[in-house]
Amino acid sequence: GIQVEQSPPDLILQEGANSTLRCNFSDSVNNLQWFHQNPWGQLINLFYIPSGTKQNGRLSATTVATERYSLLYISSSQTTDSGVYFCAAYAGNNRKLIWGLGTSLAVNP
Amino acid sequence: DSGVTQTPKHLITATGQRVTLRCSPRSGDLSVYWYQQSLDQGLQFLIQYYNGEERAKGNILERFSAQQFPDLHSELNLSSLELGDSALYFCASSVGDNNYGYTFGSGTRLTVV
């Protein structure tokens, strides 16, 4: 099945800094999503982005399907951005969403 | 409040026991997904139901079973519990069955002792 790898595994930022999180996948995908899990465990869907670029406030995501990667950009980071960012994908008719192990982000004031 | 309700929030039980986790989806959502999150394996997809029917199955153990009822709430039954079943169990819901647009519940933390 598809493999999903995220980098870096851990990231520490000062408030106001920008960052880029990467998600590599082993096969062509027709479903690629980014999620955020806050320090209290709540999971939130950020983007559904099988291809192209989307923006939502200070967050944006780009998926280059032909090169099998997706990037999540966080600009002007805030302490509330802390938590774990996951990407997840599936390929073809396999409807099982496969999740990466996440990037753990800590934003310090 | 995400609109997806999971109960109970915490559960402590002994090995060999059986428990039932409950999920009420967001109003209007027809799909329910169950996930297991453990420290060493990340998030694992267990099973999806759409409007009462099983739609997709992940690496769900035979000791585990689920169903979605006519009112669209879902239950995940875990039996013959083992220490390794200790994890966070999340339910998510979505309008369609296309596996995106999830809204997650706050999870049930299961501890098997």
Q: How far is A37 from chain B (nearest CA, A)?
A: 10
pLDDT at B2: 82
Shortest CB distance from B42 goes to which of A31, A44, A102? A102
CATH number of the domain where residue A24 is located: 2.60.40.10
User: What's the token pair of residue B91?
Assistant: 């339910």
Strands A10-14 and A103-108: parallel
> Are residues A99 and B43, on separate chains, in Cβ contact within 8 Å?
yes
- Taking the C-alpha atoms of residue B46 and residue A41, their distance in angstroms, rounded to an integer, is 19
Residue B39: pLDDT band by 50, 70, 90 thresholds?
confident
DSSP lists the bridge partners of residue B109 as B10, B88
Q: How many structural domains does chain A have? A: 1
User: Does A30 reach chain B within 8 Å, measured CB to CB?
Assistant: no
Shortest CB distance from B99 goes to which of A44, A97, A99? A97
User: What's the token pair of residue A15?
Assistant: 């408030």
Task: Name the residue among A103, A76, A105, A89 with its Cα closest to residue A1.
Answer: A89
Query: Splitting chain A (109 residues) into consecutive groups of 10 residues, what average pLDDT does each group show?
Result: 94 97 92 95 94 97 96 97 95 83 97
Report chain A residues whose CB lies below 8 A from the CB of B55: 95
Q: Which residue of A has its CA nearest to B93?
A: A45
Virtual torsion, Cα A59, A79, A12, A16, nearest 10 deg: 60
Range of A9's domain?
4-108
- Taking the C-alpha atoms of residue A5 and residue A25, their distance in angstroms, rounded to an integer, is 6
| Mean of pLDDT values over B80-86 | 97
> Are residues B106 and A101, on separate chains, in Cβ contact within 8 Å?
no
Task: Name the residue among A26, A49, A48, A45 with its Cα closest to residue A37.
Answer: A45
pLDDT at B87: 97
pLDDT at A92: 75
